[in-house]
Structure 1
Amino acid sequence: MPRIADRGVTNHILKAFNLHASKRLGQNFLIDAGVVNGIVATAEIGPGDRVLEIGPGIGTLTQALAEAGADVTAVELDKKLPAVLAETLKEYDNVRIVPGDILKTDISALMGEEPFKVVANLPYYITTPIIMALLEQKLPITRIVTMVQKEVAERMIAEPGGKDYGALSVAVQYYTQPEFALNVPPRCFMPAPAVESAVMDCVVRKEAPVDVKDEKMFFRVVKASFGQRRKTLSNALTGVGISKDDVKNVLNTAGVDGTRRGETLTLREFAALADAVTALNEK
């Protein structure tokens, strides 16, 4: 089969099926074989690996995953594309195409209980909800390798104190060990997006980097702390449903200065605050 990750081949497929990149669905077709190979190499795909791909498009990345020997399940939202994929990937019996919205898909039922990897060129308009859904469901995912907007990649690996550090940074770093893998310029896509892109490699942690008594409370505290960036913790923490006086007690117990803002806190400090709130609620 010719490599789909080529401008000429991609153009041929689009014309043959009368397709156009959908702005509504955030479609940009990858046409750089080097980047596609880099994604597969980053994910360390080998024969027999179980892979969930989100948004296979016309099968560009899917083809490379299949040729590496992976058992690929690809979920596609665009109703026009499963018929296209049936043709572009007809040579591969290790690919299963599933029409549907990944945010409405029962991934556990789809993939079963055995470990799997997620490899995807995600639509940029919905990157964060998809990543959070994958992480929060506690699925047997071992690794998430995704193409994202470079700005999102910078947020995923940001450290406390910087402008990019936020709730996404905390969540991704709590659940995974994220690393920047590849820089991908606009020319690698058709049509070329108006932003730089990057491939992120997130190895899912077997254990969280900090101990928390109540994980849901931990993320409630994180969300409240970043809810309004200009708010100090003394004001922001009322967002978890406690009084001003209780906020003072929580801050004292956790040993955190209430004049600080959420973007300055480490994961350990968020954990200390969450545990203090949990202890307060248990009284």
Structure 2
Amino acid sequence: MTKPMSLREQLRLALTAAGLAPNHRLGQNFMVDGGALDTLIRHAEIGPGSRVVEIGPGTGFLTQRLLGQGATVCAVELDSGLHAYLGKHFLAQREAEHLQLVHGDALAGKTALHPAIVSFAKQGPWKLVSNLPYDISIPALLNALTMADGASKAVVTVQWEAAQRLISPAGSNSWGATAAVAQAAGRGEVVAKLPPRCFYPPPRVDSAVLMWQRQPAMDRLEGFAGWCRHLFSYRRKRLSRALRDCGWPRDSATTLVSALGLAEDLRVEQLTVAQLAQVYGAYNPTATGDTADTVHEKGL
């Protein structure tokens, strides 16, 4: 009996046949572990009627599984060769009618996703399920979670170090605007650690399967991500001084810190997500009361 061809062998054969090779410049490390692919599908809870965005589909191993579960998929591929390969590969398949294949960069700048993703998001609830290219993993995830009509859930692969930074607690060495924005958007957890052998070519570092459940309160925190990054540019300063550097009058900044019951010597890098949401509420009248309370109740 002929031994079944491994995903690694299938990938290398497909790339060779198409005259392609992994492009390091585009951060291409294709997932070739069936168990890891199944982990993404399982934790994303994909089933008939699910609507999914996949960034960086590569040769379509994950795409095939998503379609096989009955999902409608918007797959965005930057590599022109792989985009052409995917078009030919899925053309004759019955599930192809549920696949929207887009050629382009998933990021439309640092603070927005590709227009095709934005349009897909407006049509109904969706999830982000992807083996994300390392170079764009953090901005892609944060934009998906914080945009209008954001992903209800994200299950993605990122570098292990990046995952640890995203779930880091307030006040830790890894705590910063990136973690604060992600945790304001919802609750995240690492559900699996993936060694380099799960990918081809193997990266030099471990990876993580990261699951993030978006919270509805994010809808009332429009503009929070940009504001948070600005505030954290003064991360080692006392909050009252940082607010003044962000443009607040001295008296207003001092009064706000006192009104929120925060210590006078509290520094920006020590602020929890709930405290950041409260402070932001003073900047943005639409991000008030119940938003901060919801963030606090979720233990973020």
Give the TM-score taking structure 2 as reference length: 0.82
1:99 aligns with 2:106: no
User: Unpaired runs of 5+ in structure 1?
Assistant: none
Give 2:280's match in structure 1, choosing from 268, 274, 279.
274
Q: Which amino acid aligns with 1:11?
A: R
> Deviation of residue 215 (structure 1)?
4.5
Residues 113 and 140, structure 1, Cα contact 8 Å, conserved in 2: no
Are the counterparts in 2 of residues 225 and 236 from structure 1 also a CA contact under 8 Å? yes
| RMSD (Å) for aligned C-alpha atoms | 2.5
Correspondence for 1:166: 176
Q: Distance in 2 between matches of 1:204 and 1:193?
A: 29
The answer to whether the 8 Å contact 1:82/1:99 transfers is: yes
**What CA distance in whole angstroms lies between the structure 2 residues aligned with 1:264 and 1:121?**
32
SS in 2 for 1:147: strand
Q: 2:244 aligns with which of 226, 238, 243?
A: 238
Name the CA distance, whole Å, in 1 between partners of 2:5 and 2:18. Answer: 14
Residue 294 of structure 2 corresponds to: none
Q: 1:4 to 1:243 in 2, by over 3 A?
A: farther
Q: 1:185 to 1:239 in 2, by over 3 A?
A: farther
Contact 1:180 1:198 in 2 (8 A): yes
AA paired with 1:37? D
Per-residue displacement from partner, 1:241-273 (whole Å, max 9, x unpaired)?
123443322222222224222222112211332
Letter in 1 for 2:19: N
Q: 1:219 to 1:50 in 2, by over 3 A?
A: closer
SS at match of 1:192: coil
Partner of 2:18: 17
Give the Cα separation in 1 of the matches to 2:225 and 2:244.
14
Moved more, 159-168 or 84-93: 84-93
Q: Secondary structure at the match of 2:204?
A: coil
Counterpart-to-counterpart distance in 1, 2:5 and 2:283: 53
Indicate the residue corresponding to 1:262 in structure 2.
268
Partner AA of 2:275 in structure 1: E
Contact preservation (8 Å) 1:77, 1:101: yes
Q: Percent identity?
A: 36
Contact 1:224 1:236 survives alignment (8 Å): no
Distance in 1 between residues matched to 2:61 and 2:106, nearest whole Å: 19
Give the 3 Å change call, closer, same or farther, for CA 254–224 of structure 1 in structure 2.
farther
Change (3 A) 1:273 1:35: same
Q: Any conservation in 2 of the 1:221–1:273 contact (CA below 8 Å)?
A: no
Give the 3-state SS of the residue equivalent to 1:120 in structure 2.
Answer: strand
The corresponding residue for 1:176 is 186
Q: Which residue of 2 aligns with 1:55?
A: 56
SS of structure 2 residue aligned to 1:53: strand
Rounded to whole Å, the distance in 2 between the matches of 1:258 and 1:118 is 41
Amino acid at match of 2:72: D
| CA pair 206-5 structure 1, distance change in 2 beyond 3 A | farther
> Partners of 1:161 and 1:204 in 2: how far apart?
23
Q: Is 2:42 the partner of 1:38?
A: no
Say which SS state the counterpart of residue 203 (structure 1) adopts.
strand
TM-score by length of 1: 0.87
Aligned AA (1:103): L
Q: Which residue of 1 aligns with 2:293?
A: none
Is the CA contact (8 Å cut-off) linking 1:5 and 1:33 kept in structure 2?
Answer: no
1:278 Cα deviation from its structure 2 partner = 5.5
